[in-house]
């Protein structure tokens, strides 16, 4: 068995396809002993990919774009969260976006991730950063959930199923960002292009397990919900509800591919608030589709 390490952000539902691949033996069937490292700092995921502590990552897609602009070798080779699975959750008493004026809003990071999306969404509702509200970098959605419940922040994006859990605990939803931004490549399967080229057979075998895991997610709700409960500790009603949301809206891509439209939307939104004049505007430049294409052809 060949050992591989996949770095992922926190222990949340976003990781479910690769959790399925691990628990259902889909990577083992390809001769891979997969280790999944759950990391709370979103920047550290790409740090580990860059320095070789991890060979693949479910990373924040904007980090790959920033890395590529700096001359780095990170590339998107597959999809993960291809459409936004979030609700904008606020504490009770905040009934509209206008109610966020002067409030503290949690984001994963000021450098990438949810911050650009938040700034764009609130600007559409007449609130502008930094004058009208404070952004609080607090890490991924589990950390935001803890801060929301403790009063450390007033609002933040919460992904399914945490958004439903929040509503059941008395928090309120100000809306679904997907209504305003239907395509957005939030996270993706990323790799160092040099490492992949030097480990071609291993990368292709991982990609075959990756494709099988996405198909199993869509085809087998019972397995998907059982593994989601086992890995994240959520109750079955939330696991089942999340599965329904993710399959209905194709948040995970059934074919495993990244979304060019989603990457394009990410570039356009983040470029409005980050001074990156060297940024190319072609989403396809960041995606290498050859790995999944060859893996599928070999099935």
Percent of the chain with pLDDT over 90: 71
Given a contact cutoff of 8 angstroms between Cβ atoms, the answer to whether 190 and 76 are in contact is yes
Average pLDDT of the chain to the nearest whole number: 92
Indicate which CATH number applies to the domain containing 154: 3.40.190.10
Q: What's the number of domains the chain is made of? A: 2
Asked if 262 and 193 sit in the same domain, the reply is: yes
Asked if 150 and 273 sit in the same domain, the reply is: no
User: What gap in Å lies between CA 99 and CA 104, rounded to an integer?
Assistant: 11
Res. 6: pLDDT tops 80: yes
Given a contact cutoff of 8 angstroms between Cβ atoms, the answer to whether 16 and 80 are in contact is no
Burial of 155 (0-12, 13-18, 19+ CB in 10 A): buried
**Could you tell me the sign of the dihedral formed by the alpha carbons of 113, 115, 120, 124, in that order?**
positive
Asked if 190 and 291 sit in the same domain, the reply is: yes
Single residue among 179, 195, 228 that ends a domain in this structure: 179
Residues 6+ away with beta carbon under 8 Å from 60:
9, 42, 45, 46, 108, 109, 112, 113, 186, 187
Q: Which domain holds residue 108?
A: 86-179
Asked if 77 and 202 sit in the same domain, the reply is: yes
Asked if 292 and 258 sit in the same domain, the reply is: yes
Asked if 53 and 197 sit in the same domain, the reply is: yes
User: What gap in Å lies between CA 37 and CA 57, rounded to an integer?
Assistant: 9
pLDDT given at position 113: 62
Percent of the chain with pLDDT over 70: 96
CA atoms within 13 A on the CB side of 41: 6
Q: Write down the pTM of the prediction.
A: 0.91
**What token pair was written down for 192?**
């160092």
Asked if 60 and 110 sit in the same domain, the reply is: no
Asked if 121 and 259 sit in the same domain, the reply is: no
Flag the least confident range among 50-54, 123-127, 133-137, 158-162: 158-162
pLDDT given at position 40: 83
Flag the least confident range among 112-121, 146-155, 248-257: 112-121
Asked if 199 and 278 sit in the same domain, the reply is: yes
pLDDT given at position 34: 98
Q: What is the pLDDT of residues 193-232, one digit of tens each?
A: 999 999 999 999 999 999 999 999 999 999 999 999 999 9
Asked if 93 and 61 sit in the same domain, the reply is: no
Asked if 170 and 192 sit in the same domain, the reply is: no
Single residue among 147, 179, 211 that ends a domain in this structure: 179
pLDDT given at position 190: 97
Given a contact cutoff of 8 angstroms between Cβ atoms, the answer to whether 39 and 8 are in contact is yes
pLDDT given at position 276: 52
User: What gap in Å lies between CA 243 and CA 201, rounded to an integer?
Assistant: 32
- 3-class DSSP state for residue 26? coil
In angstroms, the Cα distances linking 246 to 25, 46, 103, 242 are 22, 25, 30, 6
Residue labelled with tokens 């890395």:
67
Res. 71: pLDDT tops 90: no
Single residue among 124, 151, 179 that ends a domain in this structure: 179
Res. 242: pLDDT tops 90: yes
More confident residue, 205 or 282: 205
More confident residue, 114 or 246: 246
Asked if 93 and 222 sit in the same domain, the reply is: no
Q: What is the pLDDT of residues 84-142, one digit of tens each?
A: 999 999 999 999 999 999 999 998 877 766 788 889 889 989 999 999 999 999 877 78
């Amino acid at each position: 068995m060949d050992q591989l390490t996949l770095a992922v952000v926190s222990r949340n539902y976003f990781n479910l396809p690769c959790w399925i691949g691990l628990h259902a033996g889909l990577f083992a069937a390809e001769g891979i002993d997969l280790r999944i490292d759950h990391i709370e700092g979103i920047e550290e995921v790409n740090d580990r990919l860059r320095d070789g502590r991890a060979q693949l990552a479910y990373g924040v897609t904007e980090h790959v774009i920033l890395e590529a602009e700096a001359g780095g070798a990170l590339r998107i080779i597959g999809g993960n969260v291809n459409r936004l699975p979030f609700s904008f959750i606020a504490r009770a008493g905040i009934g509209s976006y206008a109610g966020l004026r002067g409030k503290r809003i949690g984001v994963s990071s000021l450098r990438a991730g949810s911050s650009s999306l938040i700034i764009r969404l609130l600007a559409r509702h007449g609130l502008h950063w930094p004058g009208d509200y404070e952004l609080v970098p607090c890490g991924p959605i589990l950390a935001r959930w803890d801060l929301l419940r403790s009063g450390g922040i007033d609002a933040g994006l919460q992904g399914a199923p945490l958004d439903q859990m929040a509503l059941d605990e008395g928090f309120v939803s100000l809306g679904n960002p997907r209504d305003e931004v239907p395509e957005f490549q939030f996270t993706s399967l990323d790799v160092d292009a040099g490492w992949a080229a030097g480990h071609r057979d291993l990368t292709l075998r991982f990609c075959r397990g990756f494709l099988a895991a996405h198909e199993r997610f869509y085809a087998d709700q019972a397995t998907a919900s059982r593994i989601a409960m086992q890995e994240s500790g959520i109750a079955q009603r939330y696991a089942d509800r999340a599965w329904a949301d993710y399959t209905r809206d194709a948040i995970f891509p059934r074919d495993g591919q990244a979304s060019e439209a989603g990457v394009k939307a990410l570039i356009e939104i983040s470029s409005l608030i980050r001074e990156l004049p060297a940024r190319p505007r072609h989403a396809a430049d960041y995606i290498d589709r050859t790995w999944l294409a060859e893996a599928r052809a070999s099935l």
